[in-house]
Amino acid sequence: MNPIIKNAPLAPLTSLRIGGAANELWTVDSEAECVEALRQLDQSGEPFFVLGGGSNVVIADAGFAGTALRLAYEGAEHTQRDGETFAIDASAGDDWSLLVDALVEAGLSGVECLAGIPGSVGATPIQNVGAYGQEVATTIEAVRVYRRSSKKVEELTAAQCGFGYRSSELKGNTDLVVLGVRFLLERSQLSAPIAYRELADKLGVELGERAAVEDARAAVLELRRAKGMVLDEHDHDTWSAGSFFTNPLLTPDAFARLEDRVAEHRGDGPPPPRFDGEGGLLKSSAAWLIEQAGFSRGERRGQVGISSKHTLALTNLGDASAAELIDFAREIADRVETIFGVQLRPEPALIGIEW
């Protein structure tokens, strides 16, 4: 394990560049070191949290009164299964965006629409990371975890992970720490069927058709850059945690009430976006609701703003505090709930922050 850093600033380790220091920063360079560190932390009773790529987290200005455990180990192994199926065992500390690039360049299909998403591999099953019609849940075979209660490493099947929209049984489960993920991908020069209208239009294909896997990745990266969703230290629109709010999932009755509220608020305007969700739920668009509530791209509060490229991204304009960010996020969520009766939920992990 790397030398322990006392009173370690955490803001530079996050894409938002916001937050205070941790009492200690432990950086591990292998899975074995990670497991040993977890056992030591549990034995000492020291509070800790796991820090991966830092792209989906907001850390309080006061920092964290405990240890930040940073996963810096990498390495992915490829094994051919039957036919054209390959298993990829990736370490939790692997850079997700670089892994997707390598897999696409190797002619493997199934994660190309998740290109350009910052962060670590270990975070992907926790959030069931998804974009442009793909989710990691569709390609994950198993997740390797350390179970703190039993002090053992075990493997969870995809079914045991309980994947849902931007969620899983791993999310918020402090007993389990992700050590690695095994993906099953197809060797193919064609992408998985394109399931997102904007991407299909960009590629010039119909929904459900396939495109060249390299073309699909390139199109996704172009779309993400246009929305400020590819990290660029010179572009403050990318100093964010990605989409700050998840799209709301509503029962049919709740969606009908939303339609009534929208009609009351907008008169003859268009109804709210509607998509089929899981378990009979209906999904609407958080970005659309935010815009209809009167917020606009580029709007700012002090050193925090809504991205000029994407309504769902809250950005650090240079010297923002976590308090400023959360206050603006609550202002947005409160107004949406007041007008439309829909509660917006933050997508990033909040460290030392109550919502």
Return the pLDDT at 42. Answer: 97
Residue 107, C-beta contacts closer than 8 angstroms, at least 6 positions apart:
187, 188, 189, 213
* CA atoms 89, 95, 100, 102: torsion sign: negative
Residue 17, C-beta contacts closer than 8 angstroms, at least 6 positions apart:
11, 239, 316
Active site residue 70: no
Return the pLDDT at 1. Answer: 77
Q: Average per-residue pLDDT in the chain?
A: 95
Confidence check: pLDDT of 267 > 80: no
Residue ranges of domains in the chain: 5-71, 76-226, 236-351
Nearest in space to 61 (alpha carbons), one of 324, 338, 346, 342: 324
b/e burial code for range 257-290 (CB count within 10 A of at least 16 → b): ebeeebeeeeeeeeebeeeebeeebbbbbbbebb
Return the pLDDT at 31. Answer: 96
Interval 157-185: pLDDT, tens: 999 999 999 999 999 999 999 999 999 99
- Which of 17, 70, 144, 166 is catalytic? The answer is 166
Confidence check: pLDDT of 80 > 90: yes
Active site residue 347: yes
- Which of 15, 109, 243, 307 is catalytic? The answer is 243
Contact 348, 314 (CB under 8 A): no
Q: How far apart are CA 291 and CA 283, in angstroms?
A: 17
Confidence check: pLDDT of 155 > 90: yes
Which percentage of the chain shows pLDDT scores above 90?
Answer: 91
Return the pLDDT at 232. Answer: 85
Residue 134, C-beta contacts closer than 8 angstroms, at least 6 positions apart:
110, 111, 112, 113, 114, 192, 195
Domain 76-226 in CATH 3.50.50.60: no
Instruction: Just give the CATH number of 5-71.
Output: 3.30.43.10
pLDDT band for 231, please (50, 70, 90 cuts).
Answer: confident
Class of domain 236-351: alpha beta
Interval 172-227: pLDDT, tens: 999 999 999 999 999 999 999 999 999 999 999 999 999 999 999 999 999 999 99
Return the pLDDT at 134. Answer: 97
Active site residue 105: no
Rg, Å, the chain Cα set: 21
- Which of 24, 112, 324, 347 is catalytic? The answer is 347
Contact 347, 246 (CB under 8 A): yes
pLDDT band for 278, please (50, 70, 90 cuts).
Answer: confident
Q: How far apart are CA 319 and CA 353, in angstroms?
A: 19
